[in-house]
Structure 1
Amino acid sequence: MPTSNTWDAEVVAGVQRFVRQEIIGQAQDLEASDSYPEQIVSKLKELGLFSIAVPQEYGGLELSVPTYAKIMEELAFGWTTLNCFINSHCSASSILAQHGTEAQKQSYLPRMATGELRVAIALTEPSAGSDLHSIRTKATPTGNGGYMLNGTKIFITNGARADVVLVLARTAPGKDGLSIFIVEKGQPGFTVGANAQTMGHRHIDVAELIFQDVELKAGNLVGEVEGQGLKQMLDALETGRIAMAATAVGLSRSALKAAREYAEQRVAFGTEIVHHQAIQMLLADMATQTMAAQSLVQVAANTKSSGQRSDMVSGMAKLFAGETCAKVTLDCVRIHGGSGFVKGFPAERYYREAPYYILTEGTNEIQKLTIAKRMLKGDAEAIGL
Structure 2
Amino acid sequence: MAVDRLLPTPEAADLIALTREIADKELAPLVTKHEASETYPEGLFAKLGRAGLLGLAYPEEFGGGGQPYEVYLQVLEELAARWAAVAVATSVHTLACHPVNAFGTDAQKERWLPGMLAGELIGGYSLSEPQAGSDAAALTCKAERTEDGSGYRVTGNKAWITHGGKADFYALFARTAPGSHGISCFLAPGAAEGLTFGRPEEKMGLQAVPTTSAHWDGAVIDGDRLIGEEGQGLQIAFSALDSGRLGIAACATGLAQAALDAAVAYANERTTFGRRIIDHQGLGFLLADMGAAVDSARATYLDAARRRDLGRPFSRQASAAKLIATDAAMKVTTDAVQVLGGYGYTRDFPLERYMREAKIMQIFEGTNQIQRLVISRHLAA
Query: Shared topology, TM-score over 0.5?
Result: yes
Matched, 1:172 2:177: yes
Partner Cα separation in structure 2 for residue 53 and residue 218 of structure 1: 28
- 1:232 and 2:252 aligned: no
- Paired position in structure 2 for 1:153: 158
Aligned partners of 2:42, 2:192: CA distance in 1, in Å? 26
**1:236-271 residue CA offsets vs partner (Å, 9 max, x unmatched):** 111110011011111111111111111112222332
Matched, 1:203 2:208: yes
Q: Give 3-state SS (helix, strand or coil) of 2:54's partner.
A: helix
Give the drift of 1:178: 1.2
Which 10-residue stretch deviates more, 166-175 or 30-39?
30-39
Unmatched 5+ stretches in structure 1: 378-385
Percent identical residues: 36
| Greater alpha carbon shift after TM alignment, 354-363 vs 45-54 | 45-54
1:24, CA displacement in angstroms? 4.2
2:64 alignment counterpart: 60
Range moving further from structure 2, 328-337 or 18-27: 18-27
Q: Which residue of 1 aligns with 2:327?
A: 323
- CA 1:21–1:135 in structure 2 vs 1: closer, same or farther (change >3 Å)? same
Tell me which residue corresponds to 1:382: none
Match of 1:219 among 205, 224, 230: 224
Query: 2:135 & 2:374 partners in 1: Cα distance?
Result: 12
Q: Residue 189 of structure 1: CA displacement?
A: 1.4
* Structure 2 residue 108 is the aligned partner of structure 1 residue 89: no
Whole-angstrom CA distance in 2 between matches of 1:162 and 1:354: 24
Look up the match of 1:38: 42
1:50-96 deviations in Å (ceiling 9; x for gaps): 22243211122132111111111111111212213311111121221
Q: Which moved more, 1:302-311 or 1:366-375?
A: 302-311
Q: Which residue of 2 aligns with 1:246?
A: 250
Q: CA RMSD in A?
A: 1.7
Cα offset, 1:39, TM superposition: 5.0
Aligned partners of 1:23 and 1:111: how far apart in 2?
23
Distance 1:54 1:266 in 2: 46
Per the alignment, do residues 368 and 331 of structure 1 end up closer, same or farther by CA in structure 2, a change over 3 Å counting? same
Do the aligned partners of residues 33 and 127 (structure 1) sit closer, same or farther apart at CA in structure 2, a change above 3 Å counting? closer
Deviation at 1:22, TM superposition (A): 4.2
CA distance in 1, matches of 2:32, 2:268: 21
Q: Deviations over 1:130-159 (max 9, x none)?
A: 110111111123353332211111110001
Report the alpha carbon displacement of residue 199 of structure 1 after superposing the two structures with TM. 0.9
Tell me the CA shift for residue 29 of structure 1.
3.9
Separation of aligned partners in 2, 1:46 and 1:254: 26
Larger mean Cα displacement after TM superposition, 275-284 or 22-31: 22-31
CA apart distance, 1:45: 1.9
**Does the 8 A contact of 2:88 with 2:251 survive in 1?**
no
1:187 to 189, 192, 199: 192
Look up the match of 2:309: 305
Q: Is the 8 Å Cα contact of residues 86 and 209 (structure 2) preserved in structure 1?
A: no
Over residues 309-330 of structure 1, what are the superposed CA-to-partner deviations in whole Å (9 max), with x where a residue is unaligned? 2111100000000000000000
Residues 52 and 352 (structure 1 numbering): CA distance in 2 closer, same or farther, change over 3 Å?
same
Residues 359-378 of structure 1: per-residue CA shift (max 9 Å, x gap):
1100000000000001111x
Aligned residue identity for 1:92? A
**CA contact 2:45–2:119 (8 Å) conserved in 1:** no
Deviation at 1:27, TM superposition (A): 3.7
Aligned twin of 1:19? 23
SS at match of 1:147: strand
Preserved contact between residue 122 and residue 156 of structure 1 (Cα < 8 Å): yes
For the residue of structure 1 that corresponds to 2:173, the secondary structure is strand
Q: Decide whether the 8 Å contact of 2:46 with 2:120 is kept in 1.
A: no
SS state of the match for residue 191, structure 1? strand
101, 109, 115: which one aligns with 1:111: 115
Q: Give 1:103 deviation, angstroms.
A: 2.0
The aligned runs of 1:220-369 (5 Å cut-off) are 220-223=225-228, 225-369=229-373
CA distance in 1, matches of 2:44, 2:197: 24
Q: Does 1:10 align with 2:14?
A: yes
Q: What SS is found at the alignment partner of 2:216?
A: strand
**Partners of 1:25 and 1:287 in 2: CA distance:** 26
Which of 343, 349, 373 is the equivalent residue of 2:377?
Answer: 373
Determine the C-alpha separation between the residues in 2 that align with 1:370 and 1:56.
33
TM-score, L = length of structure 1? 0.92
CA distance in 2, matches of 1:141, 1:207: 26
- The range that moved more, 229-238 or 261-270, is 261-270
Aligned-partner Cα distance in 2 for 1:169–1:34 = 31
Please give the secondary structure, in 2, of the residue aligned with 1:50: coil
Distance in 2 (alpha carbons) for counterparts of 1:5 and 1:178 = 41
3-state SS in 2 of match to 1:195 = coil
Q: Distance in 2 between matches of 1:238 and 1:12?
A: 23
2:4 matched residue in structure 1: none
Report if aligned partners of 1:54, 1:109 keep a CA contact under 8 Å in 2. Answer: no
